[in-house]
């Protein structure tokens, strides 16, 4: 029996509610099989840790994560701590420190979920957004001077390296190749951003030569937003810079019905370091502690975690359980217009996982 070491980093806000729910799903799954089990280690990093220690996570915190097989993350954000501190002190520290350069965000309209697009059939919206996750607009390079004076100046440098752009585009082409439509849209803003984005376009053409079976096109990021709304079926795999894809993926999640559903994988494709899985939503202070958070974004992230571990059958079973539960309006949380609680949705998904195991055992 394989044992996977899973780090749990709930972080702040509703992260503390959805990560334990995700753990429950993994535990339920493990109970149904003899082929793998999980060992969990939970880390209490985040806003509370910051109040005690002045840091979001310990300086050597990454050492504790390096040996894990995967990380399940909740969210970082605290009403009393500036957002750039919570973000840079925890989530970005992990993503950049563990070189999780491919941020992968699948979007689909799940059965039973009502998206806001009138003319969009569920089969028209089936995307994966690949977000560059370690550089670009999130390079953190920049500074401020003359602070508080009228000549104050501030810069945030968007930094793109050839190696960084090549590896994310190669990842995106490979992912597009693995999907039925073999269709990739490379999104830039190379009309206005005339240096790094022009380099993206050039590198995209170079990498494309190695993937003759992938059909690809280019789109400017502003036009891409309109295309997502007006012609969703014209898109399949999408690759963009750190900030562009950040914005597009919120739009994608909203078009698929709710930010509460959308998952993320922060992948280190070479597997030198563990990858990290998290719901796309933030810490949602307005509903935290009330048991109202939608845990589906975390469960779908658990599916991506299982796929990354190579547990494809288990991943499929969790996804089927999610779809089964999403299809029942009585099990919709507030973000979906319902009044189900985090707990009710979690219990329903776990019950469905257990039930499908009994069925498949009965058939065998
Ligand atoms: C995301 C989030 C973060 C980001 C926030 C919390 C800073 O929006 O994962 O998309 O911009 O990267
Ligand atoms: Mg975002």
Q: Which two tokens stand for residue 286?
A: 């307005």
Q: What is the pLDDT of residue 362?
A: 63
Q: Is 246 in the pocket of ligand 1 (CB under 6 A)?
A: yes
Ligand with minimal distance to 105 CA: 1
Ligand with minimal distance to 243 CA: 1
Counting Cα atoms < 13 Å in the Cβ hemisphere of 181 gives 16
Label the pairing between strands 70-75 and 2-11.
parallel
Give residue 245 CA to ligand 2 midpoint distance, Å: 8
Indicate the helix (H) or strand (E) that contains 248.
helix 242-255
Which residue's structure tokens are 């941020």? 103
Q: Is 87 in the pocket of ligand 1 (CB under 6 A)?
A: yes
Cβ within 8 Å of residue 82, ≥6 positions away: none
Q: What is the pLDDT of residue 357?
A: 77
Q: How high is the mean pLDDT of the chain?
A: 96
Give residue 183 CA to ligand 2 midpoint distance, Å: 24
Give residue 311 CA to ligand 2 midpoint distance, Å: 28
Which residue's structure tokens are 């300086």? 59
Q: What is the pLDDT of residue 340?
A: 98
Q: Which atom of ligand 1 is nearest to the CA of 83?
A: 7
pLDDT tops 90 at residue 360: no
Cα(317)–Cα(29) distance, integer angstroms? 9
pLDDT in tens, 21-59: 999 999 999 999 999 999 999 999 999 999 999 999 999
Euclidean distance between the first and final Cα of the chain, in Å?
21
- Domains in the chain with CATH codes: 1-101+270-364 (3.40.718.10), 116-255 (3.40.718.10)
Cα(89)–Cα(256) distance, integer angstroms? 30
Give residue 361 CA to ligand 1 midpoint distance, Å: 41
Over the range 160-194, which residues count as b (16 or more CB within 10 Å of their CB) and which as e? beeebbebbbbbbbbbbeeeeebbbbbbbbbeebe
Cα(35)–Cα(262) distance, integer angstroms? 28
Q: What is the pLDDT of residue 358?
A: 67
Give residue 364 CA to ligand 2 midpoint distance, Å: 44
R_g of the chain, CA atoms, integer Å: 20
Cα(246)–Cα(244) distance, integer angstroms? 5
pLDDT in tens, 122-167: 999 999 999 999 999 999 999 999 999 999 999 999 999 999 999 9
Region 91-118 average pLDDT: 96
Cα(236)–Cα(179) distance, integer angstroms? 9
Q: Is 159 in the pocket of ligand 1 (CB under 6 A)?
A: no
Of 90, 47, 73, 53, nearest to 285 by C-alpha is 47
pLDDT tops 90 at residue 85: yes
pLDDT in tens, 245-264: 999 999 999 999 999 999 99
Indicate the helix (H) or strand (E) that contains 321.
helix 312-326
Collect residues with CB below 5 Å from ion ligand 2.
246
Q: Is 282 in the pocket of ligand 1 (CB under 6 A)?
A: yes
């Amino acid at each position: 029996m394989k044992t996977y070491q899973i780090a749990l980093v709930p972080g702040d806000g509703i992260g503390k509610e959805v990560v334990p729910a995700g753990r429950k799903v993994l535990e339920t799954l493990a109970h149904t099989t003899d082929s793998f089990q999980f060992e969990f280690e939970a880390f209490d990093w985040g806003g509370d840790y910051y109040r005690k220690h002045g840091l979001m996570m310990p300086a050597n915190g990454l050492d504790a994560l390096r040996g894990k097989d995967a990380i399940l993350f909740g969210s970082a954000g605290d009403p009393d701590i500036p957002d750039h501190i919570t973000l840079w002190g925890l989530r970005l520290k992990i993503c950049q420190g563990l070189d999780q350069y491919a941020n992968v965000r699948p979007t689909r309209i799940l059965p039973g979920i009502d998206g806001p697009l009138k003319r969009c059939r569920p089969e028209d919206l089936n995307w994966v957004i690949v977000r560059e996750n370690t550089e670009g607009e999130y390079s953190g390079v920049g500074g401020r001077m003359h602070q508080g004076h009228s000549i104050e100046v501030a810069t945030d440098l968007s930094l793109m390296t050839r190696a960084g752009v090549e590896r994310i585009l190669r990842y995106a082409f490979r992912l597009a190749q693995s999907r039925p439509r073999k269709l990739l849209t490379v999104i830039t803003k190379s009309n206005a951003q005339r240096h790094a984005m022009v380099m993206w376009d050039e590198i995209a053409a170079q990498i494309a030569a190695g993937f003759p079976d992938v059909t690809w096109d280019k789109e400017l990021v502003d036009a891409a937003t309109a295309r997502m709304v007006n012609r969703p079926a014209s898109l399949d795999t999408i690759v963009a810079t750190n900030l562009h894809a950040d914005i597009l993926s919120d739009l994608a999640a909203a078009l698929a019905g709710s930010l509460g559903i959308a998952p993320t994988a922060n992948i280190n494709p070479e597997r030198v370091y563990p990858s990290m899985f998290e719901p796309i939503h933030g810490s949602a202070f307005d509903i935290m502690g009330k048991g109202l958070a939608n845990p589906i974004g975390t469960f779908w992230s658990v599916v991506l975690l299982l796929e990354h571990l190579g547990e494809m059958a288990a991943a499929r079973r969790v996804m089927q359980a999610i779809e089964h539960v999403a299809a029942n309006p009585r099990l919709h949380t507030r973000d979906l217009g319902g009044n189900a609680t985090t707990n009710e949705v979690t219990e329903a998904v776990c019950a469905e996982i257990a039930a499908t195991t009994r069925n498949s055992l009965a058939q065998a």
